[in-house]
Chain A
Amino acid sequence: MNTQVTLAGVTFKNPVMTASGTFGSGMEYSEFVDLNRLGAVVTKGVANVPWPGNPTPRVAEVYGGMLNAIGLQNPGIDVFMERDIPFLKQYDTKIIVNVCGKTVEDYVDVVERLGDEPAVSMLEINVSCPNVKEGAIAFGQKADALYNITQEIKKHAKQPVIMKLSPNVTDITEMARAAEAAGADALSLINTITGMKIDVHKRKFVIANKTGGMSGPAIKPVAVRMVYQTAQAVKIPIIGMGGIATAEDAIEFLLAGASAISVGAMNFVNPYATMEIEAGIRAYMEQYKIENVTDLIGAVS
């Protein structure tokens, strides 16, 4: 049985990854999860300087999911390189670093710093966080802006570049095509869906930022649909995510056309979710006599 997948020339031992922002840099969850069993750890977004994030409350529960507006609190690339990368290097897993910024220069700054670190296998560019006012989403909701930033990042990146797409657009395939045309090596989707929750007793917004990104099992059908549409529209590989809780969910994304999958909010609900999904995919392959996990990619009819 072969669970390996290859994206943009990088081979992962299995298709199970962690969704950025839900797993820190792996340190907190290493008490629960054997990180060696993951295809990759995708880190929390890192900027060129520390970001304080948004005011609290930053999270809220909604039916079958949650809203968050953390605002990309992060220690900046210096601390990240000194602390988080050496920590992750101890494990036999691939490192994908999520990069955020307010301007194109911010992104390029981080991308260049990471270019000196061969332990980083891929870069995931966050142009889809709905919770910060400048940068991020501003680059991810217009095809020409996405094209331009992708092209600029590709000029400076030493590692293959994954563009992380927002579902908060009219046509995700238009965004996917723009990123591919600009040279993106892979795509990841979906980021969270912008939502809102109001406390009817206090008549106040539950999240200080008013809006937050929705994640969790309730968004999964939207994510599966978008992964499928995107897979039909582009040739570059896709990392699928959005509400994955079980191995069945993960396989659904593979069948829709994803080459790998990420587990996000469900890490909060079940800290062992990634390992259980990894084992569950193998059990599924055994049950259906599937030799290579890649045989599942896009195998829906």
Chain B
Amino acid sequence: MKQKQTARVISQQEIAPGIYDMWIATDLVDFAKAGQFICVYPKDKSTLLPRPISICEVDVAQKALRIVYRVAGAGTKEFSSYVAGDSIDIMGTIGNGFPVEEGIGKKVLLMGGGIGVPPILELAKQMKQAQVVVGYRDSNLFLKEDLAKYGEVYVACEDGSAGVKGNVMDAIAQECLEADVIYACGPMPMLRAIKKYAEEKGIKAYISLEERMACGVGACLGCVVKTKEIDHHSHVHNARICTDGPVYDAETVEI
């Protein structure tokens, strides 16, 4: 179920340079799943379109939802100025989310890169005891401590300042990690590498994709990804990331 509403900010802090961690009080948590996202609407009328931001953590008891996002432009800059008690316009929850059930009783590898790390947290919480591989640019290892509560965390760092020097694929190789199922969110080159790796190893990989979008509800057809099979909506090979995704079986998309 999707709903647009004005919610309230519970707290916000900058947890790494340009990375903000916000808890929002909203009853949308009742529908929230790991890997789904919400649309956040700037109040400045010169920036009209909603910003899709992944759900980082869900606290059903407290009716609170956590987002962790990077300031990338005017919209996210505005959000970063919100403090506790401020209103925030959101719509959600959106997308299919990660198929958690596919990992039950299996050896699972959760992979997050950069601002793709946040959705991995709620997933790790639900998976319990998963292996978590996260990649960062530098020593600002945001959410690492949170992740460590729910699984074994392996870090890759591009500048070599922490963990394995390199990216998440380097970390897998160096730490000799194995899995039956991979769940991943991160930049496109990382997702391409995971898709290839999973195909070579013959294992399942569920990847969460990102694309510029306008409506967030499947109407504008802005955020499509090329698919192997004909998509059910337009009967071409372009599925809508907002509604058919954002999580896809890596085998089914051509990225």
Interface residues of A (CB under 8 A from B): 21-24, 28-29, 31-32, 44, 50-53, 56-61, 63-66, 68, 70, 73-76, 79, 216-217, 265-272
Contacts and interface: CB of A to CB of B under 8 A. Distances in A.
Contacts of A21: 220
Interface of B: 1-4, 41, 45-50, 75, 91, 211-225, 233-238, 243
Contacts of B238: 52-53, 73
Contacts of A52: 234, 236-238
A290 B253 CA distance: 55
A56 B223 contact: yes
A22 B243 CA distance: 15
A68 B214 contact: yes
A31 B222 contact: no
Contact of A268 (B48, B75, B233, B237): B48
Contact of A73 (B211, B214, B236): B236
Contact of A57 (B46, B212, B217): B212
B67 to A, nearest CB: 19
The A interface is mostly helix, strand or loop, or mixed, namely loop
B49 to A, nearest CB: 5
Given A51-B236, A268-B214, A70 B48 contact: no
B219 A79 contact: no
B2 A56 contact: no
B243 A70 contact: no
A267 B46 contact: no
22 contacts: A28-B215, A28-B217, A28-B218, A31-B2, A52-B238, A56-B212, A56-B222, A57-B211, A57-B222, A58-B224, A59-B212, A64-B46, A65-B48, A68-B220, A75-B234, A76-B235, A265-B214, A268-B48, A268-B214, A268-B219, A268-B220, A271-B217
Contact of B221 (A32, A53, A63, A66): A53
Nearest 9 A/B pairs, CB to CB? A59-B222, A52-B236, A24-B219, A28-B219, A268-B215, A75-B235, A57-B212, A28-B218, A59-B214
> Do most interface residues of chain B lie in helix, strand or loop, or is the interface mixed?
loop
A50 B215 CA distance: 22
Contacts of A64: 45-46, 48
A70 B91 contact: no
Q: Which of B1, B224, B238 has the most CB of A within 10 A?
A: B238
Given A31-B1, A32-B4, A66 B235 contact: no
A29 B234 contact: no
- Residue with the greatest number of chain B CB neighbours at <10 A, chosen from A31, A52, A65: A52
B49 A269 contact: yes
A42 to B, nearest CB: 13
Contacts of A217: 45, 48
Contacts of B50: 268-269
Contacts of A73: 221, 224, 234, 236, 238
Given A56-B212, A270-B4, 11 more contacts: A22-B219, A51-B236, A53-B224, A56-B211, A59-B49, A59-B212, A70-B220, A73-B224, A73-B238, A265-B214, A271-B91
Contacts of A58: 212, 221-224
A56 B224 contact: yes
Contacts of B214: 59, 66, 68, 265, 268
A23 B2 CA distance: 16
Contacts of B75: 61
Contact of A265 (B45, B48, B236): B48
Contacts of A29: 217, 219
A65 B48 CA distance: 7
Contact of A28 (B3, B48, B212, B243): B243
B212 A60 contact: yes
B48 A61 contact: yes
A44 B214 CA distance: 15
A268 B221 CA distance: 12
A23 B214 CA distance: 12
A209 B121 CA distance: 36
